[in-house]
Amino acid sequence: MCIVIKEEASLDILKGIGEKTKLVFQKAGIETVGDLLNYYPRAYDTFEEPVEIENLADGRIQAVCGFIEKTLSIRHAGRFQIASGKIRCGSDTVAVVWFNMPYLRNTVKPALRYVFRGRVKKKGQQLTLEQPAIFDVFQYEEKVRQLQPVYPLVSGLTAHMLEKALRQAIDGMDLTRDYLPSDLRKEQELAEYNFAVQQIHFPKDIQAMHLARRRLVFDEFFLFILALQRLKSARETVFHSYEIEKTPDTDSILRQLPYKLTGAQQRVWHQIEGELQQKKVMARLIQGDVGSGKTILAFLALVQAAANQAQGALMVPTEVLARQHFEAFQDLMERCHLPYQAVLLTGSLPAKEKRKICEQIESGQASVIIGTHALIQEKVTYHQLVLVITDEQHRFGVKQREALAYKGELPHTVVMSATPIPRTLAVILYGDLDVSVIDELPASRLPIKNCVVGTSYRKKAYAFIQKEIQQGHQAYIICPMVEESEVIEAENVIDYTDRLRAHYPESIRVEYLHGKMKANEKNEIMERFLKNEIQVLISTTVIEVGVNVPNATVMMIENAERFGLAQLHQLRGRVGRGAAQSYCMMVRGNDNQAVAERLEILNKSNDGFEIARKDLKLRGPGDLFGIRQSGLLDFQIADVFADADVMQSASEAAARILKEDPELQSEKHLYLQKKLTSYMKNGLENLNI
């Protein structure tokens, strides 16, 4: 009897997956069969015919057919064991090297023909085939011109393990019933779901893969948009029993600020100020470029709530940023002689101090609460929470934002984002929110001077950074990796720090920061950088949502081609926050023309929204494996920029269906209703938008 496997079934229903293997899959976030089916390839590899050694090209992945001349030699280099030898193909030879695979010495037999496939690297005048996979000749012939899925892997999880599990899951799933109505599929020219799931993992050709991907991208946007509309509908039917009246204290603050709000800031503030006075629940996104002045608007809204004997909360993604906002708010209150006291609530506070702050929150003694995700912990009870503000909101999942809102009695919510998304896309992505855009930078802010350079420029860059430090300033250097990899050639934080410490005199303090460090270590490093006890901070992208360090004037980004434009723009926004001129140097790790064209967009503009528009135009829909805006718009397979046309279609389709059947109660929508319910319970949980 054939057992039908359900998507919600635990992974160990599949043969060969016991407790140990199950834990390995869990490290990749795969706990159910559904998670496995949704673990999409990040790219596809096409195996080409083997080439002659004379046709090998630096930087390309290529295959050669030949034999190892003699038994591989093994040598040690630091923590690596390196196996090396020569491949002979006809009268020519090419060097070959493997890292940490000493067993190949016994398994690769000299004089036997194999196909070796790997990346070609030129060192001096010599070409080397690095870390090639090894196939027998017939095995390789079967793979030629087939699309081979490439998955993101974690330690212990291999491509073979994934393939074996996926084949079982797909063979055992009941994929005959599609939850999308047939008329919608026909109208949108979408493949059936069963076809899409099979062909995304095991495509018969590139056309089938594109059809599969388009269907799955549509699904992801479609379900997300339907879920947002449900959230919005729930809010629109609810009204408060309280009003947050306008207060003269906010006008007093505006008079005493050392600068005047821009026209865009004033427009958005009047929107917020007016909506706070209404009984209808406000749900608004403030979308503003880096440095456009969103934080002061948040402070004004918090003061308006506090002036009405109520509470407002500001949630931010990092402890250092929370502390900086807390101190800035306190300074503003002291400068303007206002009585409103904020409390700071973060996860690292001692238990005794945390209890004391929680008591102040519950009693209403604290009217402004600033903190991290600690604000939504179960033990935190609010007295009268009427306003919830989430800063750098893409760092929190939709459900986390909702969790804070549920701490109050349907409070007003404001979410703030510096992610540069064209307004047409933002209106869809934030469908449960009204969108305000701050599209103007303060006149006093000096534009950042940019340059895109090759690796040969490093010596000049280091000298320039030293000159800035001698003038009392500081610098960031961004690397894409934490540690050295034998597979990926890119700068890493650990080795780079050692090199730079050796390059600069001891008077210049160089430290590193990365996401694998403990929270207290990261906080300590950022606090020291803020105090100028560290002059050069070498970091991964963990600093893209960081503190305000007005003294930092240089941002140098290594391997800039490995980041999406939105992320590069966020990183660049860490400098240019003080009165001094700031600079951003983007170092290209290769000479690819498409990379150069993309980086040139950043080189010529500091306007995040203009950058997003040009990036969208340059890439166009269907740039399947363009650089994803990693960590900013965290869909599983869809890319907001490359798939903008599909998102628009999904939005229009969702609107039509909800107009026709708002509750999805008709017979043809019953399976869609079931799918949406499951998605809102599970799928929306981890989506950071």
Q: What is the CATH number of the domain that holds 94?
A: 2.40.50.140
Give the count of beta carbons closer than 10 Å to the beta carbon of residue 456.
8
Percent of the chain surpassing pLDDT 70: 89
Whole-number Å distance between alpha carbons of 273 and 412: 11
pLDDT for res 406: 66
Mean pLDDT of 18-43: 90
Asked whether 410 and 242 are in contact (CB, 8 A), the reply is no
pLDDT for res 624: 32
Residues 518 and 410 in one domain: no
Mean pLDDT of 219-230: 88
569 lies in a domain? Answer: yes
Mean pLDDT, the chain, whole residue set = 85
Q: Is the pLDDT of residue 617 over 90?
A: no
510 lies in a domain? Answer: yes
Whole-number Å distance between alpha carbons of 533 and 546: 17
| 238 pLDDT tier (thresholds 50, 70, 90) | low
Provide the token pair at 178: 């599609």
Whole-number Å distance between alpha carbons of 558 and 403: 38
| 430 pLDDT tier (thresholds 50, 70, 90) | confident
Residues 425 and 472 in one domain: no
Bigger pLDDT: 398 vs 661: 661
72-75 LR contacts (CB < 8 Å, sep 24+)? 72/98, 72/104, 72/105, 72/108, 73/105, 74/102, 74/105
Lowest average pLDDT, out of 229-233, 388-392, 421-425, 599-603, goes to: 421-425
**What is the domain range of residue 308?**
248-438
pLDDT for res 629: 40
pLDDT for res 605: 83
Of 568, 570, 614, the closest CA to residue 587 belongs to 568
Bigger pLDDT: 465 vs 292: 465
Whole-number Å distance between alpha carbons of 438 and 258: 20
191 lies in a domain? Answer: no
| 397 pLDDT tier (thresholds 50, 70, 90) | low
Asked whether 372 and 315 are in contact (CB, 8 A), the reply is yes
pLDDT for res 60: 87
- Indicate the residue among 124, 144, 164 that finishes a domain: 144
pLDDT for res 643: 84
Residues 427 and 459 in one domain: no
Whole-number Å distance between alpha carbons of 146 and 87: 25
pLDDT for res 398: 56
pLDDT for res 188: 94
pLDDT for res 627: 36
Provide the token pair at 73: 């030699």
- Indicate the residue among 605, 630, 660 that finishes a domain: 605
Alpha carbon separation from 235 to 167, 227, 239, 463, 486 (Å, rounded): 43, 13, 8, 56, 52
Residues 322 and 431 in one domain: yes
Q: Please, what is the end-to-end C-alpha distance for the chain in angstroms?
A: 44
Provide the token pair at 70: 């003699």
Mean pLDDT of 112-135: 91
Whole-number Å distance between alpha carbons of 632 and 392: 10
Q: Is the pLDDT of residue 233 over 50?
A: yes
Of 72-86, 484-498, 626-640, the range with the highest mean pLDDT is 72-86
Residues 471 and 420 in one domain: no
| 586 pLDDT tier (thresholds 50, 70, 90) | very high
CB half-sphere exposure, 315, CA atoms < 13 A: 26
With 0.75 as the threshold, say if the pTM is over it. no
Mean pLDDT of 144-172: 88
pLDDT for res 313: 94
Residues 501 and 413 in one domain: no
Task: Report the run of H or E that residue 99 belongs to, with start and end.
Answer: strand 92-99
Mean pLDDT of 156-181: 86
Of 143, 178, 144, 179, the closest CA to residue 163 belongs to 143
Based on C-alpha coordinates, what's the Rg of the chain?
28
Q: Is the pLDDT of residue 615 over 50?
A: yes
Percent of the chain surpassing pLDDT 90: 46
Q: pLDDT for 506-560, tens place per residue?
A: 999 999 998 788 878 888 898 899 899 999 999 988 775 557 888 999 999 998 8
Whole-number Å distance between alpha carbons of 402 and 365: 24
Mean pLDDT of 599-612: 82
189 lies in a domain? Answer: no
Whole-number Å distance between alpha carbons of 533 and 538: 14
Alpha carbon separation from 12 to 34, 365, 514, 683 (Å, rounded): 12, 51, 34, 21
SS3 134: strand
Residues 595 and 483 in one domain: yes
568 lies in a domain? Answer: yes
Lowest average pLDDT, out of 236-240, 322-326, 469-473, goes to: 236-240
310 lies in a domain? Answer: yes
107 lies in a domain? Answer: yes
- Domain CATH number, residue 559: 3.40.50.300
Residues 308 and 367 in one domain: yes
Alpha carbon separation from 256 to 76, 260, 274 (Å, rounded): 66, 9, 22
Give the number of domains in the chain.
Answer: 3
Residue in the block written with tokens 């900086």: 324
pLDDT for res 623: 36
DSSP-H helix ranges across 182-294 = 182-188, 193-201, 206-236, 248-256, 263-276
Mean pLDDT of 99-103: 90
pLDDT for res 630: 40
pLDDT for res 578: 84
pLDDT for res 80: 79
Whole-number Å distance between alpha carbons of 356 and 375: 14
Asked whether 316 and 372 are in contact (CB, 8 A), the reply is yes
Whole-number Å distance between alpha carbons of 651 and 16: 41
Residues 356 and 288 in one domain: yes
CB within 8 Å of 610: residues ≥ 6 apart: none
String of DSSP letters for 457-500: GHHHHHHHHHHHHHTT-EEEEE-SBSS--SS----BHHHHHHHH
Asked whether 372 and 357 are in contact (CB, 8 A), the reply is no
Q: pLDDT for 282-339, tens place per residue?
A: 888 898 887 788 999 999 999 999 999 999 999 988 888 888 899 999 999 999 999 9
Bigger pLDDT: 265 vs 632: 265
pLDDT for res 241: 63
Residue in the block written with tokens 């019933």: 177
- Indicate the residue among 392, 418, 438 that finishes a domain: 438
Whole-number Å distance between alpha carbons of 414 and 401: 10
Of 641, 649, 621, 622, the closest CA to residue 207 belongs to 622
What region, left, alpha or beta, does residue 10 occupy, with left being phi > 0 and alpha being psi -120 to 50 degrees?
A: beta
Bigger pLDDT: 218 vs 373: 218
CB within 8 Å of 355: residues ≥ 6 apart: none
Residues 430 and 455 in one domain: no
String of DSSP letters for 638-673: --TTTTHHHHHHHHHHHHHHHHH-TT--SGGGHHHH
Asked whether 499 and 505 are in contact (CB, 8 A), the reply is no
Whole-number Å distance between alpha carbons of 426 and 659: 21
Task: Report the run of H or E that residue 542 belongs to, with start and end.
Answer: none
Residue 62 is which amino acid?
Q
Q: Is the pLDDT of residue 400 over 60?
A: no
Q: Is 380 exposed, middle or buried (0-12, 13-18, 19+ CB in 10 A)?
A: buried
SS3 634: coil
Q: Is the pLDDT of residue 487 over 50?
A: no
126-135 and 73-77 strand pairing:
unpaired
Give the count of beta carbons closer than 10 Å to the beta carbon of residue 374.
21
579 lies in a domain? Answer: yes
| 343 pLDDT tier (thresholds 50, 70, 90) | very high
Residues 382 and 457 in one domain: no
Residues 275 and 305 in one domain: yes
